[in-house]
Amino acid sequence: MQQKIDFLIIGSGIAGLSYALKVANHGKVLVITKANRDETNTKYAQGGIAAVTYAPDSIEKHIADTLDAGDGICDEKIVRMVITEGIERIEELILWGTDFDKNEEGTFDLAREGGHSENRILHHKDRTGAEIERTLLEQINKHPNIELHTHLFALDLITQHHLGQEVSRSSGGIECYGVYALNLKTNKVETIQSKITLVATGGAGQLYRTTTNPKIATGDGVAMVYRAKGTVRDMEFIQFHPTGLYHPTESPCFLISEAVRGAGAILRTKDGEEFMQHYDDRASLAPRDIVARAIDNEIKKSGAEFVFLDCTMIDKTHFETHFPTILKKCLRMGIDPMKDFIPVAPAAHYLCGGISVDENGCSDIKNVYAAGECARTGLHGGNRLASNSLLEALVFSHRAYRHGVSAFTEINFKDNIPDWNAEGTSAPKEMILITENRRELQSLMTNYVGIVRNNTRLKRALDRLRIIYGETEALYERTIVSPALCELRNMINLSYLVVKAAMARTENRGLHYNSDLVDSNSKK
């Protein structure tokens, strides 16, 4: 089955949906997602979206905080662009129907999170992402020019390689004509031609055993672009959220929003002692890389598996009003945050690297754009400032829309796109290799490529990854494609990129910390 679409969007989070609403006025739009329409990283964003709204805050303060958190690796031009243009993008969200909390005076009830010098986080209680997702899906449902297909898993970008053509710089470089996608309802691979493709597939938290990311976060978009020979950068910078609710049998890990610390909560050791003041003057409100490493160090020193988050000083009414989801979850576990300390530990949370794009979201594969967590824009540098990610997604999806609509009318569909070649493959005789390799990959990434790394651990990870890669590729060559197998391939690709990038970096910056390195240039 083949179909032709003007604008193909892979992913139904904030980047994909906001882009779809804009390009839909110019052409035929198809949004595809491998799961339910609202199962996205956006949905699970608790804290909010950072923006300058009132004095004494200012754009310059927000820029300075972002650059500081990024540890000297941010692209300052991009930082300034996102923070300045983001204000208008948030106004669009509000016009579409997003309900950000307000105080009794009728102004935004702004929260504060780690690394921010002012209260600037717009939120909808502790489920901001879900509120934004609801708003965008409502708008999508109203638009006659947008189709949203669930359970359609994008496998690979279609490029000249699939046409048997050689690619070189003199020939104009790599060009994308659409994607092959596995229909999970029919188990058939469909060919989707597109003039413009936006990759908005989110992050890759599932590389790790403990993560706040949903099961779908397997790095699919980054892996597809990498296999198509597109540029991927900064993969060593994996952000671990400092305060995942400690519950070793639960996956994904439940997130305790950074806004809780912004409201006054304090991190304590298993003995009840406050410790963050020993690591940073900002104490529990230091940027995430610092807090996550501090917690990791305290856990290793004590032999415990978690530290405590003390919320007992927060006004009960304030906590109930601003963090109802967190309160409900804790009470269900027998923890009363107003009386009891909450056990927390770091969990893989956000990918700061990804598909390399310019200021318009263009990758170096012709007709392919990327936005959201899968894109490496230059905003985050070595470490993402809390609540900057939703802002980034809005700004880059808007810029990709502006750039794409001016180009797509000159793009023609190809006449000779081949269908997916499944010749020589058969149904897998057993799934054990796929499931065991996925578990082993998550274990080696957790144990060897986590918050604190060293050269020996990275070498072990790379050696074992090569074995897992060989086994999985051999299975892929002889087996009919399945979601589990394709996700595993993507996770292996991403893990390899993370390890190689970590081995290549010779200084400790931001989220990358190698205990074998002594780097006088590192600030943290």
| Residue 93: burial class (beta carbons within 10 Å; 0-12, 13-18, 19+) | buried
Q: Helix/strand/coil (H, E, C) string of 249-271?
A: CCCCCCECCHHHHHCCCEEECCC
Catalytic residues: 288
User: Do residues 312 and 262 lie in contact, with contact meaning Cβ atoms separated by under 8 Å?
Assistant: no
| CA distance linking residue 23 with residue 8, whole number of Å | 10
Those residues whose C-beta lies under 8 Å from the C-beta of residue 47, and which sit 6 or more positions away, are 111, 113, 121, 123, 126, 128, 257, 258, 259, 386, 387
Query: Residue 4 belongs to what H/E stretch?
Result: strand 2-10
Query: Residue 31 belongs to what H/E stretch?
Result: strand 29-32
| CA distance linking residue 284 with residue 26, whole number of Å | 47
CA-wise closest residue to 240 among 160, 136, 315, 344: 344
CA-wise closest residue to 261 among 68, 115, 56, 123: 115
C-alpha count within 13 angstroms, C-beta hemisphere, residue 10: 34
Strand partners, 180: 156, 191
| CA distance linking residue 376 with residue 373, whole number of Å | 8
**Token pair of 184, please?**
């999970």
Amino acid code (one letter) for 305: E
Query: Residue 147 belongs to what H/E stretch?
Result: strand 146-149
Cα 503 versus chain centre, distance: 22
Q: Which residue carries 């009794």 as its tokens? A: 104
Q: Beta-strand (E) ranges in 315-395?
A: 342-351, 354-356, 368-370, 375-376
**Token pair of 80, please?**
């300034």
